[in-house]
Amino acid sequence: MEITGLADLLDLQDVDLAIDRLLHQRQTIPELAAFQEITARLELVEAEHDRLSTELRSLERDADKAEGELELIEIKLKESETRLYAGGMSGRETEQKRLEVQSLRGQQGTMEERVLGVLDRLDPLREQVGILTRDKEGLVEEARRLEQLISAAWQDIDGQIARLEAAKMGIAAPIPSGLVKLYDQLRRTKEGIAVGRLDGGVCGGCHLALSRPEQIEAAEWDPPRCIHCMRILVL
Ligand SMILES: [Zn+2]
């Protein structure tokens, strides 16, 4: 009865190790790494997009402001010119108007340069923001595609795990609960391998040889334990 239980532990361990492998596979599917990389890139692109969008909005405000100021100068210039050409002013007034027109033309030139300068920066910035918007959309789409693949792969793996869990229950049922408890404890502390078969005098857990006297000593334990690694030994 006890020997049957021990052999069943080996079967149980095979299933548990298969589950461990599937859990590992679940976390290491290539699409998951790709998804994490895409997400990291998306974060960078979004930050750059936000930064340049803010810069663009500020520049657009500058352009509006400069264009508004230019418009005001042009209105004033037109008024002053009209007044000057209409004549009927004293010599002193005419000279003042002439100087005013000259000054406004100077202001007009300066402001036109400012508007052009802002507009020159605006176009490439708009283009950059456009490129980043498209990059962002592409990355979001790729992330969504990967998410679907990950979800499908996980569903498949989870199905396999569920079938193994069911098989495990069947295998564990006839094994004494105390033995299962010991097995679970050992699996936690011994890298998932709680039980090994003694094969040709060698422990299947730690792969160390046991001499005849050591084998006798191992068999004195209940259940038998490897004297090197203390794993359950199936003799
Ligand atoms: Zn051992």
Per-residue pLDDT of the chain (235 residues; tens, 9 = 90+): 345 578 899 999 999 999 999 999 999 999 999 999 999 999 999 999 999 999 999 999 999 999 999 999 999 999 999 999 998 889 999 999 999 999 999 999 999 999 999 999 999 999 999 999 999 999 999 999 999 999 999 999 999 999 999 999 999 999 999 999 999 999 999 999 999 999 999 999 999 999 999 999 999 999 999 999 999 999 9
In a domain, 61, yes or no: yes
Give me the pLDDT at residue 87, please: 86
Distance from the Cα of residue 187 to its chain's centroid: 32
- Is residue 73 within 8 A of residue 112, CB to CB? The reply is no
Residue 174 carries which DSSP code? T
Asked if residues 10 and 234 have their Cβ atoms less than 8 Å apart, the reply is yes
Residue 130 counted as domain residue: yes
Instruction: Give the domain extent around 127.
Output: 25-171
CATH number at residue 154: 1.10.287.1700
- For ligand 1, the distance from its centroid to the CA atom of residue 218, given in whole angstroms, is 10
Which residues contact residue 167 at a Cβ distance below 8 angstroms, ignoring those fewer than 6 apart? 15
Is 177 part of any domain?
A: no
Instruction: Kindly give the distance from the C-alpha atom of residue 176 to the centroid of ligand 1, in angstroms, as a whole number.
Output: 22
CA of 168 to the centre of ligand 1 (A): 24
What's the pTM value of the predicted model, to 2 decimals? Answer: 0.72
Separation CA 149–CA 139 (nearest Å) = 15
Say if 191 falls within a structural domain.
no
Going from the Cα of 208 to the center of ligand 1, the distance in angstroms, rounded, reads 6
131 within some domain: yes
* Ligand 1 centre distance from Cα of residue 232 (Å): 8
| 210 C-alpha to ligand 1 centroid (Å) | 9
| Contact yes or no for 66/114 (Cβ under 8 A) | yes
Q: What is the pLDDT of residue 16?
A: 97
Instruction: Say how many domains are in the chain.
Output: 1
Residue 232 covered by a domain: no
The answer as to whether 198 is a domain residue is no
233: in domain: no
Q: For residues 66 and 111, is the Cβ–Cβ distance under 8 A?
A: yes
CA–centroid distance, residue 29 to ligand 1 (Å): 33
